A and B are shown apart, each in its own frame.
Chain A
Amino acid sequence: MVFKNKTNFSSNSFISTDLIRPQMTSLIDILTLLLVFLIQSFNAEGELVTPSSDLKLPLSSSREKPVPSLMIEITQKAVVSEGKIIAQNSSFKNSESLLIQNIYSWLNSKKNLLSDKQKKIIIQCDRDIEFNIVKKVLYTCSKAGFTNFSVLVIEE
């Protein structure tokens, strides 16, 4: 890449043809390093499980990869699945019963559509949720016939 700096004056004797060469080597070095870094972090498989945006997942040293399954998100405000709010946390947080009726009936409707191998639930739970809420959701899932769970976490 060469830029010619042509200076034409009225006099023919004063014609400058100096070449201005932008230094591309350092720029290409930076871009090459950036490219190597980005290719290294590129994952051809993509993320099979997408965490909900309004959740802060807990950190863990686990390296086990998630497998797509039925997902239940426990946010600060509600229990959500497939983008639908199934139950508001305020409606069952202080209740005596461990069974959450809305979640139970929703899971029962889903159960028939799933094969035995798929009867696993991935729990996406906010890191600052109290166990009181989590326990009620887990209990309801177990009553609906889902006994295997995976907790979604962010790798440290």
Chain B
Amino acid sequence: MKTTSVKTNGFIPSEAIEPEIDIDVKPIMNVLIILIPFLVSVAVYTNLAVIDMNLPPDVTAIAKNSLPSEKPKVKLTVVISQDYCAITLADKMLDSISCKKGEYPLDSLTLLLKNHRQSLEIKDEVIVASGDPILFKYIVRVMDACKKAGFEKINLASATQNPNKGF
């Protein structure tokens, strides 16, 4: 909307005053009034993503088919318990972090995983083994930490007390 006018210093004849120029904003307003509710209705406020994962392979079946001299390659395992998170390799426990105030210290876990990853034979795979009462949100958090540490393939397993009942 533009208005041109002449500042008057004293008397100016009526012919000298320029006519007022009005920009018609009605069409713009109409477009905006239609466009904004449409965009509000289609706006995406939560973005969805996925974390790919697999179940760990059947070690017994692999062992049966392979030669006796061949040893199955062991992968790093992150065991999630209610009180702690442990990093294990085969039957050795490499590290453990205690759960503080119901939250797992994921930054420390990521750092530890990064450190252990350097010395591994299989650098891109990790097994996340969770206990039965663990809530799914914590498992996803640990998977995130593994991804951040550089492990691309995640296998989800059960950290059950009785190994015969596992996956």
Query: Which A residues contact B (CB, under 8 angstroms)?
Result: 1-2, 21, 24-25, 28, 31-32, 34-35, 38-39, 41-43, 46-47, 49, 51, 57-67, 98, 122, 125-132, 134-135, 138-139, 142, 147-155
**Pairwise interchain contact A128-B135, C-beta atoms closer than 8 A:** yes
**Pairwise interchain contact A142-B133, C-beta atoms closer than 8 A:** no
**Pairwise interchain contact B48-A152, C-beta atoms closer than 8 A:** yes
CA distance A58 to B50 in the complex (A): 11
For this complex, 21 residue pairs linking A to B, each with C-beta atoms less than 8 Å apart, are A1-B26, A25-B1, A28-B28, A42-B39, A42-B43, A49-B48, A58-B136, A59-B140, A62-B144, A66-B48, A128-B137, A130-B132, A131-B158, A132-B133, A135-B158, A151-B53, A153-B48, A153-B49, A153-B51, A154-B46, A154-B48
* B35 in contact (CB, < 8 A): yes
Within 8 A of A (CB), among B1-53: 1, 3, 22, 24-26, 28-29, 32, 35-36, 39-40, 42-53
- Shortest B140–chain A CB gap in Å is 4
Contact with B49, one of A43, A63, A127, A135 (Cβ below 8 angstroms): A63
CA distance A47 to B134 in the complex (A): 30
- Shortest B55–chain A CB gap in Å is 5
Using Cβ atoms and an 8 Å threshold, which residues of chain B touch A63?
49
| Interface Cβ pair total, 8 Å cutoff | 154
**Pairwise interchain contact A62-B133, C-beta atoms closer than 8 A:** no
- Shortest A28–chain B CB gap in Å is 7
Closest residue on chain B to residue A74 by CB atoms: B136
CA distance A131 to B156 in the complex (A): 10
CA distance A34 to B31 in the complex (A): 13
Closest residue on chain B to residue A129 by CB atoms: B136
Closest residue on chain B to residue A50 by CB atoms: B48
**Pairwise interchain contact B44-A43, C-beta atoms closer than 8 A:** yes
Contact with A132, one of B32, B132, B143 (Cβ below 8 angstroms): B132
**Pairwise interchain contact B136-A126, C-beta atoms closer than 8 A:** yes
Closest residue on chain B to residue A27 by CB atoms: B29
